[in-house]
Structure 1
Amino acid sequence: MAANFSSVPVLDFALVSDNATKPEFILQLRHALINVGFLYLSNHTVSQEVTNDLIDYIPRLFDLPQEAKNQIFMANSPHFLGYSKLGAEFTKGKTDYREQFDFATPHETQWKPGAPEHLRLWGPSQWPDEELIPGFKTTMEIYLQQVQALSYQFISLLAEAFGLPSDALNKFYDTDELMQHRGKVVKYPANDGSLTDQGVGPHYDAGFLTFLLTASPHRGLQVQNLSGQWIDVPPIPGTFVVNIGKALEFVTRGLARATSHRVLSPPVGSTPRYSVPFFQNISLNARLADEVLDFPPEILQLKELRGDPVQTDSVNFAEFDREPSGKVNLIGRVKSHPDVAQRHYPDLFAQYFPNGLPKQVSAY
Structure 2
Amino acid sequence: MTGLDFSEIPLLDYSLALSAETKPQFILQLRNALMNVGFLYLSNTDSVVGPELIEELKSYIPKLFALPQDQKDKVRMANSPHFLGYSRLGSELTKGKTDNREQFDIATDHVSRWKPGDPDYYNVWGPSQYPDEDLIPGFQATMKTYLSAVSALGTHFITLIAEALSLPSDGLSRFYESPDRMQHRSKVVQYPVPTERSESDQGVGPHYDAGFLTILLQASPHPGLQVQNLSGDWIDAPPVPETFVINFGRALEFATQGIVRATSHRVLSPPVGSSSPRYSIPLFHNISLDVRVRDPKYELEFPAEILKLRDERGILSGTDSVNYSEFETQPSGMVQLMGRVKSHPDVAQRHYPALFERFFPDGLPAQGFAY
Secondary structure in structure 1 of the residue aligned to 2:24: helix
Please say which of residues 94-103 and 303-312 is displaced more in the overlay: 303-312
Residue 296 of structure 1 is matched in structure 2 by: 303
TM-score, normalised relative to structure 2: 0.96
* 1:284 is the counterpart of 2:289: yes
Secondary structure in structure 1 of the residue aligned to 2:328: coil
Counterpart amino acid of 1:65? P
How far has the Cα of 1:201 moved from its partner? 0.1
RMSD: 1.0
Please say which of residues 307-316 and 233-242 is displaced more in the overlay: 307-316
From 312, 315, 318, the counterpart of 1:308: 315
Secondary structure in structure 2 of the residue aligned to 1:319: helix
Residue 34 of structure 1 is matched in structure 2 by: 35
Report 1:16-27 matches (<5 A): 16-27=17-28
Residue 252 of structure 1 is matched in structure 2 by: 256
From 158, 161, 175, the counterpart of 2:161: 158
Give structure 1 regions of 4+ aligned residues with deviation exceeding 6 angstroms.
none
* 1:200 is the counterpart of 2:204: yes
C-alpha distance in 1 between matches for 2:300 and 2:227: 27
* 1:14 is the counterpart of 2:11: no
How far has the Cα of 1:310 moved from its partner? 3.2
How far has the Cα of 1:194 moved from its partner? 2.0
C-alpha distance in 1 between matches for 2:3 and 2:100: 36
Report 1:57-72 matches (<5 A): 57-72=60-75
**Is the Cα contact below 8 Å between 2:3 and 2:36 reproduced in 1?**
no
Residues 81-107 of structure 1 show CA distances to partners (whole Å, capped at 9, x for unaligned) of 000000001001110000000000000
**Is the Cα contact below 8 Å between 2:4 and 2:229 reproduced in 1?**
no
C-alpha distance in 2 between matches for 1:257 and 1:27: 16
From 221, 226, 232, the counterpart of 1:222: 226
**Is the Cα contact below 8 Å between 1:3 and 1:305 reproduced in 2?**
no
Counterpart amino acid of 2:183? Q
Secondary structure in structure 2 of the residue aligned to 1:340: helix
**Is the Cα contact below 8 Å between 1:227 and 1:310 reproduced in 2?**
no
Residue 82 of structure 1 is matched in structure 2 by: 85
Counterpart amino acid of 1:50? L
**Is the Cα contact below 8 Å between 1:227 and 1:309 reproduced in 2?**
no
C-alpha distance in 2 between matches for 1:313 and 1:63: 34
Report 1:111-260 matches (<5 A): 111-192=114-195, 193-260=197-264
Secondary structure in structure 1 of the residue aligned to 2:112: coil
How far has the Cα of 1:300 moved from its partner? 1.1
Secondary structure in structure 2 of the residue aligned to 1:289: coil
C-alpha distance in 1 between matches for 2:314 and 2:235: 19
Counterpart amino acid of 1:297? A
How far has the Cα of 1:3 moved from its partner? 3.3
Residues 308-333 of structure 1 show CA distances to partners (whole Å, capped at 9, x for unaligned) of 34312311111112211000110000
C-alpha distance in 2 between matches for 1:220 and 1:110: 38
How far has the Cα of 1:2 moved from its partner? 4.0
Secondary structure in structure 1 of the residue aligned to 2:135: coil
* 1:56 is the counterpart of 2:56: no
How far has the Cα of 1:355 moved from its partner? 1.0
**Is the Cα contact below 8 Å between 1:225 and 1:309 reproduced in 2?**
no
How far has the Cα of 1:173 moved from its partner? 0.7
Identity across the alignment (%): 64
C-alpha distance in 1 between matches for 2:201 and 2:94: 12
TM-score, normalised relative to structure 1: 0.98
Count of paired positions: 364
Secondary structure in structure 1 of the residue aligned to 2:326: coil
